[in-house]
Amino acid sequence: MLFRSHFKGLCVFAIGYVKDEEAAREIVQDTFVSLWEKRLTIDPSRPVKNYLSTTVRNKCLNYLRDHKKFSRDLLEIENLSDEMTVYQPDTLVELELRERIDHAMDELPEKCREIFYLSRHQNMKYLEIADKLQISVKTVETQMSKALQHMRIRLSEYLPMIILAFALIRFPARIFFSTLLPCYLVTLLPCYLFIPYASG
């Protein structure tokens, strides 16, 4: 089913733009609705992925503009892609990353972890969290920032892996083996070779 295979990938794609899970989900839903509506007029020879990606992207940009959150420069620096990537569940790298993230979360102080959890897993806004926990919005802000910073430090150790993971998920195998793999080896292998001699 097209829906099942593409929904998650499109959500991730949309969140990259709008930075709001609920908004992203709605945009993707709307996109499928419009796909349905236009299903008879769509050219069946062209890949549906393109249509979906383009539609979602446009809807995202509209959303940003409507909410006055649109910044061309920032989006450019973020280097968001033009196309969605189909979500591959349970790859080795994903499982590893998931574990890293969970571990990093466990390392957070309790209050911080709680706030982060409410934000990400219960989808609560800062204001809502502040209200629920009877703390200031500023505190929520600071704690969220701390959490993300901690994640950044913890995951930066695995950044080559992450880049690799994204590369794997994103590019077709042919491109991966011919360009990205050599790039990875060239840039990182010298570092690993250096380690034994640096202290030997």
Partner 1 sequence: MEIKNTYYNDLITRYFYGEATPDDIVELEHWVKADPANATLFNEFQKTWKTVEQIRIGSSVDIDLEWNHLASKLGNGKYEPKRSQTGMTVTHPSMTEDQSKIVHGSAELRFAPVRTSKIISYALRIAAVSLLLLIPAFFLYQNFNRPTEQHLASGKEISVHTLPDGTRVTLYANATLTYPSRFDGPFRKVALKGEGWFEVAHNKKQPFIIAAGNVRVRVVGTSFSVNTQTVQDTKEIILTSGMVRVYYENNPQKMALLLPGEKAELSGKGEEITKTANEDVNFLAWKTRHLVFNNTPLSEVADVLTKVYLTRIRVYDDQIKDCRITATFDKQSLESVLNVLKATLDLRVHYNGAGFDLYGNGCRQGQ
Residue type, 135: I
Which span sits near partner 1 by CB under 8 A: 50-58, 106-114, 152-160? Answer: 152-160
Do the Cβ atoms of 121 and 147 come closer than 8 Å? no
Do the Cβ atoms of 105 and 146 come closer than 8 Å? no
In the list 111, 131, 148, 178, the residue contacting partner 1 (rule: CB under 8 A) is 148
Question: Tokens in use for 145?
Answer: 């920032």
Residue type, 44: P
**Phi/psi of residue 136, each to 5°?**
-80, 155
In the list 50, 62, 71, 179, the residue contacting partner 1 (rule: CB under 8 A) is 71
Q: Does 135 bind partner 1 (CB under 8 A)?
A: no
Q: Does 33 bind partner 1 (CB under 8 A)?
A: yes
Q: Does 175 bind partner 1 (CB under 8 A)?
A: no
Q: Does 111 bind partner 1 (CB under 8 A)?
A: no
Token pair 């890293």 is found at 100
Rg (alpha carbons) of the chain, rounded to whole number:
20
Minimum CB distance to partner 1, residue 132 (Å)? 16
Minimum CB distance to partner 1, residue 170 (Å)? 11
Residue type, 129: I
Q: Does 117 bind partner 1 (CB under 8 A)?
A: no
Q: Does 17 bind partner 1 (CB under 8 A)?
A: no
Q: Does 62 bind partner 1 (CB under 8 A)?
A: no
Half-sphere exposure in the Cβ direction for 170 (13 Å, CA): 14
Q: Does 186 bind partner 1 (CB under 8 A)?
A: no
Q: Binding to partner 1 (CB under 8 A): which residues in 77-106?
A: 77-79, 87-89, 91-94, 96-98, 101
Contacts of 188 (CB under 8 A, 6+ apart): 160
In the list 46, 66, 82, 200, the residue contacting partner 1 (rule: CB under 8 A) is 200
Which span sits near partner 1 by CB under 8 A: 54-62, 107-115, 171-179? Answer: 171-179
